[in-house]
Structure 1
Amino acid sequence: MTSRTAARTALVVEDERTINDALAQRLRAEGYTVEQAFDGPSAVDLAARVSPDVVLLDVMLPGFDGLEVCRRIQAARPVPVLMLTARDDEADLLVGLGVGADDYLTKPFSMREVVARVSALLRRVERAAALADERPAVIRVGSLSLDPGTRRTTVGDAAVHLTPTEFDLLLCLAREAGQVLSRERLLREVWDWGDAWGSASATRTVDSHVKALRSKVGAERIRTVHGVGYALEEVG
């Protein structure tokens, strides 16, 4: 356990107390400081007070739902959000990604997977901060531009709002534009997952984020190679 991990604060938002307590207990065992909320309004208030480093957020909540919680938290301050959902419905997942969630888990899930996802989210935040200090060059693929330092994306003259995960995914594809990157490689480089994550859940994670990304930068820019992965194409 590192002092860096010990300094991290996780906010767990789940109305089922047994699940909330189990998540909190496991995260505390991993060295996190944990705050707990059980409904939408208290989650937003608590996030404003404690400024968590990561949020684990159930979709179905009393007061108002997790999607509204995510919107309000992200509007106040960007923070990585792991959505927890009982429904494995792509439309719901895309809505969650669209309001600023970085990743999602479908119930039931293992505590080991929760910890791994949270750790991966926080490592990506650290990498993004380090990259900003390096002031890397802007990457252009056709009319699409990505600035890794400021994490800004434009298509032509129009700014495109991407979640942190969407930006990392697009950046990974842009660095090797025209080349097909496998889902496994994307999972390793974007999500920080190892080979142990070769599951249907992992595949859905990549595919759902690609679908959300296409809706923002244009479907024609990201080519699917069935059974393999994705490639970013140059579009004027």
Structure 2
Amino acid sequence: MARNILVVEDEQKLNKLISDYLAQEGYNVTSVFTGKDARRVLENQEVHLIILDWMLPDESGLDICREVRSDQGTPIIMLTAKSDEFDKVMGLEMGADDYMTKPFSLRELAARVKVVLRRYANHSTENSTEDEIIRHGDILVDLNKHSVYIDGNQVKLTPTEFKLLAHLIQKPGRVYSRLQLLETLGEAYEGYERSLDTHMSNLRKKIEKNPNKPKYIITVYGIGYKMEENADENPKD
């Protein structure tokens, strides 16, 4: 089944280039130029991925990103003319799954679209017939329903955050290098180690009582991360 992609970009020429290229790749593409029209589409049709410009004529794309993340799990790739590291981190903290700085290659954009959609599909209940639930400390992860509960309260994670948590929690105590985690996400791009650290930071904020002294996701300095094996012990510094 062809995936539905919403392109939200106010530069008409770029919007058309992106839309036409992705349509040639076999996607169903809906193209809009404002935040208002993006909301209208999201309210009236199923969207599997959003390509979202940071600066729109009527509002910031970050506002739309934040709202989408609070209401649904639709993955988002942010587009922006901003290249500063702070801006990239801000976009990821708002819940974007990926980030591309203009100008960019349409071929690379299409590759990243495939990566994000594949990552999201890996957690779809369409591919599962039995529930698989993992409990670790106060965390409960339902792998098939893509749900996470802390102390019985559901927390909303982005597809990237969920995949990282699901990967770590299945083997508590095992140390994963940053490269191994990036390969799990399908993100073998230069510079993605910083993005990984940001995703981990965001994940900690959602599952840790004190993100500065994590109980679950532990940084193994110089290597990567692990899920604390003895989660009932005192939090690590």
TM-score, normalised with respect to structure 1:
0.84
C-alpha spacing 1:69/1:199, structure 2 compared with 1 (3 Å): same
Cα distance, 1:44–1:107 mapped onto 2, change above 3 Å: same
| 2:196 match | 206
Q: Which residue of 2 aligns with 1:157?
A: 152
Residue number in structure 2 paired with 1:16: 11
Measure the CA separation in 1 of the matches of 2:74 and 2:99.
14
Distance 1:159 1:9, change over 3 A: closer
Distance in 1 between residues matched to 2:127 and 2:89, nearest whole Å: 28
Of the three residues 149, 170, 174, the one matched with 1:175 is 170
**2: distance between equivalents of 1:47 and 1:11?**
9
Q: Following superposition of structure 1 onto structure 2, how do residues 56-75 of structure 1 map, counting pairs within 5 Å? A: 56-74=51-69
1:120 Cα deviation from its structure 2 partner: 1.3
By how many angstroms is 1:90 displaced?
A: 5.4
- Aligned residue runs from structure 1 range 55-94, under 5 A: 55-74=50-69, 77-89=72-84, 92-94=87-89
CA distance in 2, matches of 1:40, 1:148: 33
1:229 corresponding residue in structure 2? 224
- Residues 69 and 158 of structure 2 are in contact (CA less than 8 Å); yes or no, is this contact kept in structure 1? no
Counterparts of 2:37 and 2:206, CA distance in 1: 31
| CA 1:156–1:92: 2 relative to 1, 3 Å | farther
> How far 1:167 moved relative to its partner?
0.8
Decide which of 129, 140, 145 is 2:140's aligned counterpart: 145
Higher helix content, 1 or 2: 1
Partner of 2:186: 192
- Secondary structure of 2:231's match? coil
The verdict on how the C-alpha distance between 1:169 and 1:22 changes in structure 2, with shifts beyond 3 A counting, is same
- Superposed CA deviations along residues 40-78 of structure 1, whole A, max 9, x for unmatched, are 111111233342221100111111211222344455653
What secondary structure does 1:139 align onto? strand
CA apart distance, 1:27? 0.9
With over 3 angstroms needed to count, the CA separation of the structure-2 counterparts of 1:231 and 1:23, relative to structure 1, is same
- Closer, same or farther: CA 85–204 of 1 in aligned 2, 3 Å: farther
**Counterparts of 1:94 and 1:14, CA distance in 2:** 21
Show CA shifts across 1:146-175 (max 9, x none): 111222212223332211221111101111
Stretches of structure 1 that go unaligned for 5 or more consecutive residues are none
Q: Write the letter of the residue equivalent to 1:205.
A: S
1:37 is aligned to 2:28? no
Q: Equivalents in 2 of 1:119, 1:64: separation in Å? A: 28
Distance 2:180 2:126 in 1: 20
**Shift in CA distance, 211/121, structure 1 to aligned 2, threshold 3 Å:** same
Structure 2: which 5+ residue stretches go unaligned?
233-237
Higher mean C-alpha displacement, 123-132 vs 44-53? 123-132
* Counterpart Cα distance in 2 of 1:100 and 1:150: 20
